[in-house]
Structure 1
Amino acid sequence: MDKQQIANQYKSIQDIITRGLEALDGKSTFQEELWQREGGGGGRTRIIQQGAAIEKGGVNFSAVHGVLPEPVRKAFQVDKTNFFATGVSIVIHPNNPFVPIIHMNIRYFELDDRVKWFGGGIDLTPHYVQTEDAVYFHGQLKNICDRFSPAFYPEFKAHADRYFYIKHRQETRGIGGIFYDRLTPEKTQVSWETIFDFSAALGHAFVPIYSELVNRNRHREFTAANKRWQHLRRGRYAEFNLVYDAGTKFGLETNGRIESILMSLPPHAEWAYDFRPEPGSAEAQTLSLLKQDIDWLAL
């Protein structure tokens, strides 16, 4: 296993996911832009817009290298200056308010043969939390994790709950998922090859998992009020990505391509002053479930 092998596998996963999402949408196709990073490397940005199910989505691959900027060295607490990073990053914003936003990234980072790790995760942000969808989503993630280590799901689920928390709102971005960072054999008690295989398995599971959630909800009728709530929840999504998201910060600090970094932002969002949903409404119920440490598999 070397960095080029990892990058090639991630590039193949990007191809599989974009083909699968085009088939799922049934109307729009991805537009691709190849780009080069000043300082080393580049990537493939693929964007889909105005589809039958997907209003806006991106599936990006990158493999970049060069001198690690000073702010990133401090954040990573490393002295080495050269780096290599590769990964796939996905955000999908659907048309229907009852279809959830989904995000996934799988990535590999290397300074040298001794300093390297895998990171990534997948999380779901429903505009309306539906328990049966949450149970399905977390059940699928646990099945994937358990194939590689029984410790993965509980550890990574708890990490996601902590990471995807909007502190200034005191609510989670959605229903979480799994999130992991700096995975090494020393940290996980499994081999590099097992960690890589887990990363790839997560990538391959993306289309089947999201297709199920989309097809459950894509034809549900919705009102203008539902659409407005969707836009308000997208506002929360944008707040998290711009204030807290580590990938966004890393991309900006390593002189990444701005359009690719900010493809995660929704096409339309709204911020209303001191919006409060009606007590007992579906919107209020959703807010009550945007909390850390919910055991979705016990519901």
Structure 2
Amino acid sequence: MQQPDRQQITTYLQGLQDQICTALETADGLAANLADNRTGGTFREDHWQRPGGGGGRSRVMADGIVIEKGGVGFSAVEGEASAATLRQLNLTEPADFYATGVSIVIHPRNPRVPIIHMNVRYFELSTGTYWFGGGIDLTPHYVVPEDARWFHQQLKTVCDQHDPAYYSRFKTWADDYFYIPHRQETRGVGGIFFDYLKENETTSKADLFAFQRAVGESFAPIYTHFMAQNHDLPYSPREQHWQGLRRGRYVEFNLAWDRGTKFGLETNGRTESILMSMPPQANWLYDYHPEPNSPEADTLSLLRKGVNWV
């Protein structure tokens, strides 16, 4: 079987960005028609170049019916790995790198619709080393166990089609990665996360690329399901207040702990594209605690590692 090269992977990821943007615009448009015949949101596209090599396409929606702010970014950057990057990769000798990927974060208007994040990426060094990484995770403002179970079942089905060991391994990895240590809570209900996937005796580069494609192509069906199901659910200022606080937690994780954010900034990536994952508004209240036995307290009780959703 022919093994994919970086150009084939890059071309695929460009197409994945197109597919996902089309699906999101279509779903937002359907919600608009059901509501009051308003026009659904569309993505604004910016092309950018990285001074050290490469560039990308950033697409942001800020006028949607369901999506208050959504970013779908594609990048393919290259150049000399910085000292910080070499340390992160445990490398002692200088090397050039090539990195390409698609990264998505969607912040909905309705607090009953969850935030979602996905990233699929490929990294290659001039030394010949390469790997795949990525994942998809869900951050509900209010955790609905049935929705969390459905979400995890979709991911388990994708994983099981490629390796029965993947879901358990990558679900645990997501629990550990999407964790806010200074809050002692997970960012959401997790999902799957994987990194440094390389070929071995039983898994080829083509196999890994096929798995990455399956993860990427699961995004649109999963999130458009939540858009259609939840966007018209009623909410009040109380739920909007809680949404602002949960968005604040999202910001804390991305700025303090997310490796992708750090890598982008350390490699002189485009700041606007790196930070397009930020919500349009977020709130912080000093020493806030929800009322006992409230829906907000119930959600906090489920933001922990090791919940077996399926």
Taking structure 1 as the reference length, the TM-score comes to 0.98
The match for 1:196 is: 209
Structure 1 residues 105-130: Cα deviation after superposition (integer angstroms, max 9, x where no partner): 00000003631100000000000000
Gapped regions of structure 2 (runs ≥ 5): 30-39
8 Å CA contact 1:80, 1:111 repeated in 2: no
Match of 1:131 in 2: 145
Deviation at 1:213, TM superposition (A): 1.4
Contact 2:41 2:65 (8 Å CA) reproduced: yes
Q: Which residue of 1 aligns with 2:34?
A: none
Write the distance in 2 (CA, Å) between the matches of 1:190 and 1:120.
Answer: 17
Task: Check conservation: 1:61, 1:86, Cα contact below 8 A.
Answer: yes
Q: How many residues align?
A: 296
Counterpart AA for 1:37: R
Query: 3-state DSSP class of the match of 2:272?
Result: helix
Per the alignment, residue 16 of structure 2 pairs with 13
Instruction: Give, in whole Å, the separation in 1 of the partners of 2:302 and 2:132.
Output: 30
* C-alpha distance in 2 between matches for 1:189 and 1:228: 50
Aligned mates of 1:212, 1:72 — CA distance in 2: 38
SS in 1 for 2:134: strand
Q: How far apart are residue 39 of structure 1 and its match? A: 1.0
Q: Structure 1 unaligned runs (5+)?
A: none
2:92 corresponds to 1:89 = no
Counting only pairs closer than 5 Å after superposition, residues 256-275 of structure 1 correspond to structure 2 as 256-275=269-288
SS of 1:185 mapped into structure 2: coil
> What does 1:50-65 align with in structure 2 at a 5 Å threshold?
50-65=63-78
Percent identity (aligned): 56
- Residues 102-141 of structure 1: pairs in structure 2 closer than 5 A: 102-112=116-126, 114-141=128-155
Question: What residue number does 1:237 align with?
Answer: 250
- 8 A contact 1:158–1:178 mirrored in 2: yes
In structure 2, the partner of 1:4 is: 7
Corresponding residue SS for 1:213:
helix
Contact (CA 8 Å) 2:95, 2:126: kept in 1 or not?
no
Local SS of the residue matching 1:107: strand
Separation in structure 1 between the aligned mates of residue 146 and residue 112 of structure 2, nearest angstrom:
13
| Alignment correspondent of 2:85 | 72
Partner of 1:291: 304
Alpha-carbon separation, structure 2, partners of 1:245 and 1:293? 20
How far apart in 2 are the matches of 1:184 and 1:71? Answer: 22
The letter of the residue matching 1:116 is Y
AA matched with 2:17: Q
Please give the TM-score of this superposition, normalised by the length of structure 2.
Answer: 0.94
The one-character-per-residue Cα deviations of 1:65-119 (angstroms, maximum 9, x if unpaired) are: 1111111101101224200000000000000001000000000000036311000
Residues 184-203 of structure 1 show CA distances to partners (whole Å, capped at 9, x for unaligned) of 123x8411101101111111
Match of 1:99 in 2: 113
1:263 to partner: Cα distance? 0.3
Tell me how far apart the structure 2 counterparts of residues 165 and 189 of structure 1 sit (CA, whole Å): 31
Residue 53 of structure 1, CA deviation: 0.1
What is the alpha-carbon distance in structure 1 between the residues aligned to residue 48 and residue 42 of structure 2?
A: 19
The one of 150, 162, 176 aligned to 2:176: 162
Kindly report structure 1 stretches of 4+ aligned residues shifted beyond 2 Å: none
Q: Residues 213 and 193 (structure 1 numbering): CA distance in 2 closer, same or farther, change over 3 Å?
A: same
- Cα separation, 1, equivalents of 2:213 and 2:205: 12
Instruction: Name which of structure 1's ranges 106-115 and 192-201 shifts more when overlaid on structure 2.
Output: 106-115
